[in-house]
Structure 1
Amino acid sequence: MAARLPSWAWVTGLTAGATAAVIALAVQADRGPHPTASSAARPSATASAPAGAHPSAKPKTPAVPALPAGSGTGRRIVYSLGEKRVWLVDAAGKVARSFPVWPGTVAPRPGSYSITLRTQSLTGSDGTAVEHIMYFNKVSGVSIAFSNALDGASPPPANGKKLGAVRLNKQNGSALWDFGAKGTTVAVVS
């Protein structure tokens, strides 16, 4: 007659087998692809992580250059000749938006100006259909103005023409148009 195993032996054997299976599955899962959360699934800024949780790595976004020192105070448009960039600064002095621009061949001197004229659309002196034209200076008879091409393209080379257009892409052109009413300060820095 065969000896019967006690129930604790069966439970121990089954528990050991189940534990081995779970460990094997965990190792296999760790070697496979890992899902990533979409931006829509991220918690809001007010959500708090559980105690002991480690924050997940965030994707790196390109760093926006800092607002140039000496660019004035208050609500203004800051245009850096050297950085070929514009910053929209709110009344509290915080940057609301920043973006690159494509300057023309004639540049304003560093200083403080203001938007003197706004024109919804026209054909630029380079023959490009532009919109959101915001004039703020004149150099040697050439008007200096922000604008964006209707087709969203960057300007072609000037071919020896004197152009004062400071061009930007269509989305940024709309943002600048909404921000810069007539009289808005334009701080030009080197």
Structure 2
Amino acid sequence: MRRLLVLLAALALTLTVAPPADAAVWVTKAQKRLNHLGCNAGPADGDLGQWTRSAVVRFQSREGIEQNGRLDQPTRKRLYAADAPRCNVRPVPAGSGKGRRIVISQRQNWVWLVGRNGKVVSQAGMVDNTGVLGRGSYHVGSYCGRTARIKANRSSGGLLLDNFVRFAPCGIGFHRIPRYPDSGNQIHADWILGTNMSQSHGCIRLSARMSQRVWDFTARSTPVRVV
């Protein structure tokens, strides 16, 4: 009897830790669903790697559930629901002001450019640092005697910060994901944007396209609201 109990316990442990035989199948299914919803899970190859986990985080942030990057039961329930929302189209947060402005949601890791009529001109994922940039109202402009807008900026470490637009003291602004000056390569992939899987030094990191849109949008006076 004792030997039987030991064997049963070993079997139970094996079933607990061993991945299901069809793991690649359900991961592929999830990747296809995430891509269909504009969450950018990368190739539907059955690999639950960082790229796919970033898509899960984007979906979780859109749904307001725990951003853990796991395809857990609450996440799967919403992912496969008929009314599951798209990741790349989100409503502007309530209480973020009125009129023409830029809105930043640190909870959703997301940025909206809102026109004078209240309609969204553009929106996209971002990376920031909540330990440096606090919630509140800001404004694009010069701070601490520093230039408001620098097309080709450089960080103190020598990284390239394209389309730098300052909006908070003293060195906080929007810019493209930093690039290495020797190769021109970004320090991390675009699929990190819209997640909590990385953090900046305080600035708002954006894709090349979104940073250009922010640059164009802020050619004139622009308020910024961080929520």
Per the TM alignment, residue 183 of structure 1 is displaced from its structure 2 partner at its CA by 2.5
Q: Distance in 1 between matches of 2:93 and 2:185?
A: 27
Contact map agreement 1:76 1:185 (CA 8 A) in 2: yes
TM-score, normalising length: structure 1: 0.57
Unmatched 5+ residue regions in structure 1? 1-59
Contact map agreement 2:106 2:130 (CA 8 A) in 1: no
Between the aligned residues of both structures, percent identity stands at 33
- Pairs within 5 Å for 1:60-79: 62-79=87-104
**Aligned: 1:118 with 2:149:** yes
Structure with greater proportional strand content = 1
Per the TM alignment, residue 162 of structure 1 is displaced from its structure 2 partner at its CA by 8.2
Of 113, 124, 128, the match for 1:99? 124
Contact map agreement 1:154 1:167 (CA 8 A) in 2: no
Contact map agreement 1:152 1:170 (CA 8 A) in 2: no
Residue equivalent to 2:173: 145
Of 176, 180, 186, the match for 2:218? 180
Give the total of aligned pairs. 123
Per the TM alignment, residue 107 of structure 1 is displaced from its structure 2 partner at its CA by 3.1
Q: Distance in 2 between matches of 1:188 and 1:105?
A: 10
Contact map agreement 1:153 1:169 (CA 8 A) in 2: no
SS in 2 for 1:175: helix
TM-score, normalising length: structure 2: 0.48
Residue equivalent to 1:108: 133
RMSD of aligned Cα (Å): 2.6
Residue equivalent to 2:161: 130
Residue equivalent to 1:164: 202
Unmatched 5+ residue regions in structure 2? 1-84, 142-147, 190-198
